[in-house]
Amino acid sequence: MPDEMIDIRTDDGVADAYLTRPDGVSGPLPGVLFVIDAIGLRPRTKEMADRIASWGYVVLAPNVFYRHGTATELEPTLDLTDPDSRRPFFAQAMPRVHALTDDLAEADLSRYLDTLRGLDDVADGSVGATGYCAGGRWALLAAATRPDVVGAIGMFHTGGLVTDDSASPHLRLPRVRAEILAIHADRDATMPPEAIAMFEHALTSSGVTHHATVYPGAPHGYTMSDTAAFHPEATEEHFDALRSLFARKLH
């Protein structure tokens, strides 16, 4: 899988990013923005980006936490397959997530999209986005910020989509033109059943084309094989559904 790390200049510095393409396929190809989870850009998320690229896409996975260090510097040193390691790691990681405000994220996401679309081997037309955990919220923000660019988004084990705040993610849906795929986890304290129902109502009332489901028995973080939350069956369903979405909307 041809891959490389590139630097993307932003208003606040330089974001390192993983760029991957399929083997033996000549461009131009549709582009996909891969928005990482709270844990960061690391071997598991690069592996996931590679798999998506193998379907026939150029995939860009930025280190969205670049203000706090490079992907290598931020990579977990604890074994997150051990549930006891999660608490100390996330105590360290969550301040980075909260520090990435919507204002900062909007500017960054727009720069990432422009970088992706500006690559020689990326085709004209809509790009896709896929986001995990907090990355799902940022993927939705990308689609709301650049509705002319983002044609399809996947959101997986994404929490906090419905809040009492005036900036709640679900309130962005009227600005979205992309088709949305969301696969929630039914054992996710950050997205309880009542929030899932409210998000579904917001999707429907906004007229957004969508497919939203809840995977039974899956915890928050189910796609991440380097953590204790990994759920192989839910992960494979997410890949199958995402592949179908991108094939339908980006080609």
Catalytic residue among 37, 50, 133, 231: 133
The reply to whether 210 belongs to the active site is no
Residue of 50, 188, 231, 238 marked catalytic? 188
DSSP string, 55-77: TT-EEEEE-TTGGG--HHHHS--
- Rounded to whole angstroms, the Cα distance separating 43 from 36 reads 11
SS3 187: strand
240 has catalytic annotation:
no
Neighbours of 58 (CB within 10 A): 26
The token duo for 211 is 């497919």
Closest CA to 133 of 57, 78, 188: 188
Find the catalytic residue in 157, 220, 231, 238.
Answer: 220
Query: For this structure, is 79 an active site residue?
Result: no
Element (H, E) at 186: strand 179-187
C-alpha distance across the termini of the chain, in Å: 21
Contact 49, 18 (CB under 8 A): yes
Which residue, among 140, 114, 133, has the nearest Cα to 31 in the 3D structure?
114
The residues pairing with 5 across neighbouring beta strands, listed in sequence order, are 18
76 contacts 40 by C-beta, under 8 angstroms: yes
The DSSP code for 23 is: T
Question: The tokens 């928050």 sit on which residue?
Answer: 220
Catalytic residues: 133, 188, 220
